[in-house]
Amino acid sequence: MDHVDALRSELLSAVTEAGDLAGLEGVRVAALGRKGRVTQLMKGLGTMSPEERKQAGAALNALKSEVASAIELRKAELSQADIDARLMAERVDVSLPARPEREGFIHPISQTIDEVVAIFGEMGFTVAEGPDIEDDWHNFTALNMPLEHPARQEHDTFYLPSAAEGERMVLRTHTSPVQIRTMQAEKPPIRIIVPGRAYRCDSDATHSPMFHQVEGLLVDRATHMGHLKGCLIEFCRTYFGVDDLPVRFRPSYFPFTEPSAEVDIGATREGGEFRIGHGDEWLEILGSGMVNPAVLENCGIDSTVYQGFAFGMGLERIAMLKYGIPDIRTFFESDLRWLRHFGFVPLDIPSLVTGTG
Ligand code: DAH
């Protein structure tokens, strides 16, 4: 039985020396596989005398199970080593400081949306959305702008090619149609803001054919102009970070609100630039008003029971004023130098606790 002992020590040391799972599998096949050395020896048992076979058979069986369990043991060790090696290779040093300069920048519009959402979110408004491609009814008619209404002319609308039935869809000229969609879908009380894109055929330093607005809508039983004023004064002061910022409500006209007011904030002109705060200049930043009862009725809301207020403002405009960005067109030029200058680091997520910029 010397050759069995020799084979045993040869195989066992091959098992121990196998450096990885693939090598170990090779050892297993060479020893216990169909043409393996132990298997071959077992095949030879048939040619032996019964006496020899009994002895040799027992010895080979013992060898086979010893080698098999050595392989299992080594396999467990190697798997563990494999996991350890991967854990080492994929290790993240959580004590390293963040390296935001490598991460790219948050676009000022995304930042401004986050800031506005943080402020109104704290007041209990939730974010609503609607389609950029709108039908005429939601964009105009339901907002109290019937076909011949002169206010339609001010919108420089982009029309899409007519569909077969003749209806011409538009790129929404404001975020106000989402007021309509929300009032149709939900019952009051409603408290939403709608940050989103709007489109008008206009382009200069203060107009871009695609721009962003945020719409606000609150509908409840006892809503009045005082709520509108309190809410918007609070917003302006928090957004611009000036506690005593002068805010002025100037009577205006919008078909979808009655009464309507435009909101101005106080500023000083220094050289060619404005500084937000006390001063002898006023900057218009948004439109607002009490929702016209006709608009509530268009959406199936009983205007003898419910009142609402609404507002809409241009996000580029308030971003330009806050961050001193002189030309609206630069927002959409994808110029990395511009983004590095005016962009925000990704970890600066606005909130009322950490500040809104
Ligand atoms: N939709 C208006 C515009 O684009 C802005 C606006 C004014 C929205 C008054 C309102 C509002 O909800 O009440 O010029």
Q: What is the pLDDT of residues 36-62, one digit of tens each?
A: 999 998 998 889 888 988 988 999 999
Q: Does residue 249 carry a pLDDT above 90?
A: yes
Whose C-alpha lies nearest to ligand 1, atom 5? 312
The gap from C-alpha 311 to its chain's centroid, in whole angstroms, comes to 25
Q: Given the CA of residue 179, which atom of ligand 1 is nearest to it?
A: 12
Nearest to 60 by CA among 118, 3, 109, 111: 3
The whole model's pTM is what?
Answer: 0.71
Confidence of residue 291 (pLDDT cuts 50, 70, 90): very high
Q: Does residue 347 carry a pLDDT above 80?
A: no
Q: Please report the pLDDT score of residue 353 as a whole number.
A: 63
Q: Which of 173, 174, 309 to mutate to test the pocket of ligand 1 (most atoms within 8 A of CB)?
A: 174
Instruction: Give distance in angstroms: CA of 218 to centre of ligand 1.
Output: 14
Give the pLDDT confidence of 98-153 residue by residue, as tens digits: 665 566 889 999 999 999 999 999 999 999 999 999 999 999 999 999 888 888 88
Q: Does residue 357 carry a pLDDT above 70?
A: no
Q: Given the CA of residue 143, which atom of ligand 1 is nearest to it?
A: 1
CB 169 within 8 A of CB 139: no
Q: Which of 211, 231, 311, 316 to mutate to test the pocket of ligand 1 (most atoms within 8 A of CB)?
A: 311
Confidence of residue 271 (pLDDT cuts 50, 70, 90): confident
Whose C-alpha lies nearest to ligand 1, atom 7? 287
CB 98 within 8 A of CB 347: yes
CB 216 within 8 A of CB 304: no
Instruction: Give distance in angstroms: CA of 6 to centre of ligand 1.
Output: 93
- Cβ-based burial of 75 (10 A; exposed 0-12, middle 13-18, buried ≥19): middle
Instruction: Give distance in angstroms: CA of 249 to centre of ligand 1.
Output: 14
145 lines ligand 1 (CB under 6 A): no
Instruction: Give distance in angstroms: CA of 261 to centre of ligand 1.
Output: 10
Q: Tokens 């563990």, residue?
A: 80
Give the pLDDT confidence of 297-339 residue by residue, as tens digits: 999 999 999 999 999 999 999 999 999 999 999 999 999 999 9
Give the pLDDT confidence of 189-246 residue by residue, as tens digits: 999 999 999 999 999 999 999 999 999 999 999 999 999 999 999 999 999 999 999 9
For residue 171, report the phi and psi dihedrals to the nearest 5 degrees: -80, 125
User: In terms of DSSP bridges, do strands 190-199 and 126-127 run parallel, antiparallel, or are they unpaired?
Assistant: parallel
What is the rounded CA–CA span in Å between residue 111 and residue 349? 8
Whose C-alpha lies nearest to ligand 1, atom 8? 312
Instruction: Give distance in angstroms: CA of 262 to centre of ligand 1.
Output: 9
Instruction: Give distance in angstroms: CA of 112 to centre of ligand 1.
Output: 18
Instruction: Give distance in angstroms: CA of 183 to centre of ligand 1.
Output: 16
The CA distances from residue 287 to 122, 140, 225, in Å, are 21, 17, 13
196 lines ligand 1 (CB under 6 A): no
193 lines ligand 1 (CB under 6 A): no
Instruction: Give distance in angstroms: CA of 343 to centre of ligand 1.
Output: 28
* 16 Cβ contact list (under 8 Å, min separation 6): 70, 74
215 lines ligand 1 (CB under 6 A): yes
* 99 Cβ contact list (under 8 Å, min separation 6): none
144 lines ligand 1 (CB under 6 A): no
Q: Please report the pLDDT score of residue 350 as a whole number.
A: 76
Q: Please report the pLDDT score of residue 346 as a whole number.
A: 77
Give the pLDDT confidence of 151-190 residue by residue, as tens digits: 888 889 999 988 777 788 999 999 999 999 999 999 999 9
CB 1 within 8 A of CB 59: yes
Please, what CATH class does the domain formed by 108-342 belong to? alpha beta
What is the rounded CA–CA span in Å between residue 157 and residue 277? 35
291 lines ligand 1 (CB under 6 A): no
Segment 10-34 shows an average pLDDT of: 93
Confidence of residue 354 (pLDDT cuts 50, 70, 90): low
| Domain residue extents for the chain | 2-89, 108-342
Q: Please report the pLDDT score of residue 240 as a whole number.
A: 96
Q: Please report the pLDDT score of residue 2 as a whole number.
A: 75
200 lines ligand 1 (CB under 6 A): no
Helices (runs of H) and strands (runs of E) counted in the chain: 11, 10
Instruction: Give distance in angstroms: CA of 248 to centre of ligand 1.
Output: 17
